[in-house]
Amino acid sequence: MASHLGRRKFLATLGGAAAAWPLAARAQGDSVRRVGWLMSTSERDSESQVRLGAFREGLQKLGWAEGRNLRIDYRWGGGSIERTGTYAAELVALKPEVILGAPSSAAVALHRETRTIPVVFAQVADPVGLGLVENLPRPGGNITGFAVFEYPIALKWLELLKQLASRVTRVAVLYDPEQPTSPGYITTIEATASSFGVQILRHQVRDADAIERAIETFGAEPNGGLILPAGALMTANRDLIISLAARHRLPSIFALRFYVAAGGLASYGVDHLDLYRRAAGYVDRVLKGEAPANLPVQFADKFELVINLKTAKILGLDVPISLLARTDEVIE
């Protein structure tokens, strides 16, 4: 009799545990929040990993840790606008609580796919012009974030090129036609080209072969220089661009520091890693219940001028002392 009673107690206990298990599992599952990550560059790219590291650092400072209370679903466009769009649709189908999209092409792709899932962007230019938000103080929809700079910064790129290489009279602007911010930069540069005494030549490029053909063709003529607006395609092919520019002795201006660290001549832009850390703060606020519509778009406030003196010497350029005095970082 005692053994039967013991068996019944055990089964009752087991049954109670079985009934309670789904509730416990569900409660544990609810404690892990789900975030999406869409970047239009490649996962294997070292710079992409640095950006991801900055985002994770920002989350960790706010108490979020993958595997403990956070799950992040990653998608990488690999420099392809088409692939970025496909992965945007995949992430939206997973229904995460918030998605981080960067840079501009990823944010635009996410905006096409959803008007309900919160999206936080980083490293985007002209969010109003791209149709991502209604206005900067009150975005009004499901998307907000951190912008890099406005199109007039392109004038600084042209000015910097002429300061470093006054002999330049022909400037090639390489751009991906699928990159949503390309027209704004090119129009800005073309509008003031005559005041700098240069001719602007547009070069559409969609892959590495097109980049190589464009630089080889342009570099065959003298007194040339390059301006490379930022974009996933340019980031993925930066080593190719820098090596071709060196081969043809073309002074080249970039939007971000890591191009110059890799051997480019100079850059003027923002500390973009700071934007990813700050974007983590908006992801945190959305997870805690705030709506993107009420989170103002913020612009970068840390600009940096970087010059690679070694590259300047190889190109036979004497960097003006007045310019060096304003330089935030000199790479030698």
- Same-domain pairing of 169 and 192: yes
CA distance 96 to 110: 13
- Residues 143, 109: one domain? yes
Only one residue has tokens 């918030």, namely: 98
Q: What is the pLDDT of residues 300-310, one digit of tens each?
A: 888 899 999 99
| pTM of the predicted model as reported, rounded to 2 decimal places | 0.79
Q: Give the Cα separation of 255 and 269 in Å (integer).
A: 5
Q: Hey, CA dihedral for 186, 189, 192, 194, is it positive or negative?
A: negative
Let me know if residue 176 belongs to a domain. Answer: yes
285 and 263 together in one domain: no
* pLDDT < 50: residue spans in the chain: 1-29
Q: Are residues 169 and 59 in the same domain?
A: no
For residue 211 the two structure tokens come to 């980049």
195 lies in which domain range? 153-270+304-331
pLDDT of res. 30: 54
Total number of domains constituting the chain: 2
- Say what the pLDDT of residue 302 is: 82
Considering the domain architecture, whether residues 136 and 211 belong to the same structural domain is answered as no
Q: Please indicate, yes or no, if residue 19 is contained in any of the structural domains.
A: no
Same domain, 322 and 292: no
167 and 105 together in one domain: no
Residue 309 and residue 295 in one domain: no
Q: Hey, what are 147's tokens?
A: 């912008």
Residue 34 lies in a domain: yes
Domain assignment present for 20: no
Residue 22 lies in a domain: no
Q: What is the pLDDT of residues 25-84, one digit of tens each?
A: 333 345 899 999 999 999 999 999 999 999 999 999 999 999 999 999 999 999 898 999
Calpha distance 273→275 (Å, rounded):
5
Q: Would you say residue 23 lies in a domain?
A: no
